[in-house]
Chains A and B, each alone.
Chain A
Amino acid sequence: DTAVSQTPKYLVTQMGNDKSIKCEQNLGHDTMYWYKQDSKKFLKIMFSYNNKELIINETVPNRFSPKSPDKAHLNLHINSLELGDSAVYFCASSQGGLAGVNEQFFGPGTRLTVL
């Protein structure tokens, strides 16, 4: 009965490869997010989708492309991986845009290592 799940948990790959991370939530939420957490634990938002529509697109290289096939899924595809992409990537979901209910539920994270 996991609320927000991500696969894979660990991803080790070579520079230049293309990889995808998948995220699913079973909370019935309208909004999903991707965050990148660096080695110092700093959390940076990358993208957000609301009802399958892209609503937040921070300054992220266009090698990163999110895709939301439905409200319960938000996947992240990364082309031409670089060393600097190594980080932990977190998926999250929330009910929506009202400030008081914007508690976010996070997945367990995907640790990406680019060699």
Chain B
Amino acid sequence: GNSVTQMEGPVTLSEEAFLTINCTYTATGYPSLFWYVQYPGEGLQLLLKATKADDKGSNKGFEATYRKETTSFHLEKGSVQVSDSAVYFCALTPNTGGFKTIFGAGTRLFVKA
């Protein structure tokens, strides 16, 4: 079946540090891949997405590349800010269409000033 595995948190970094949050997936074919972010007290919002192999999604300084060979979609940012403190969710939607998005367990990020 389809599944998403992301690194356990919490991840604690100092401001301006480099961020990587690992995400790997299991799916048949070529699913669409997403990163969502949830700030404290809010709902999830889309951060970036990629719909085919080797695509790079980017937004707000965050990037993730769709790697079919390693079934991965790792989230990176070169220099984090305190305002990036949030919970990050990796997710996939099967390419067979359908309506069900599979979410990872979420990774909480704390950034210290």
Residues of A within 8 A of B (CB): 4, 31, 33, 40-43, 45, 48, 50, 55-56, 90, 92, 94, 96-100, 102-109
Q: List the A side residues contacting B26 at CB < 8 Å.
A: none
**Distance A108 CA – B41 CA, assembled complex (angstroms):** 8
Which one of B97, B105, B106 lies within 8 Å of A97 (CB-CB)?
B97
Residues of B within 8 A of A (CB): 31-32, 34, 36, 38, 42-46, 49, 51, 87, 89, 93-101, 103, 105-106, 108
Question: Given A90-B44, A99-B51, A99-B93, do A41 and B38 touch, yes or no (CB 8 Å)?
Answer: yes
Q: List the B side residues contacting A104 at CB < 8 Å.
A: 36, 44, 46, 101
Contact A99 B43 (CB under 8 A): no
CB distance from A50 to the nearest CB of B (A): 6
Contact B42 A108 (CB under 8 A): yes
Subset of 6 A-B contacts with CB under 8 Å: A41-B38, A41-B105, A42-B105, A97-B97, A102-B99, A108-B42
Q: List the A side residues contacting B100 at CB < 8 Å.
A: 45, 48, 56
Which residue on B lies nearest to A106, using beta carbons? B43
Q: List the A side residues contacting B99 at CB < 8 Å.
A: 31, 33, 48, 50, 55-56, 94, 96-97, 102
Q: List the B side residues contacting A55 at CB < 8 Å.
A: 99
Contact A41 B42 (CB under 8 A): no
Q: List the A side residues contacting B46 at CB < 8 Å.
A: 103-105
Contact B42 A99 (CB under 8 A): no
Contact A106 B97 (CB under 8 A): no
Contact A100 B44 (CB under 8 A): no
Ranked nearest first, the 9 interchain pairs of A and B with the lowest CB-CB distance are: A106-B43, A100-B51, A41-B106, A97-B97, A102-B93, A99-B32, A99-B93, A106-B44, A99-B95
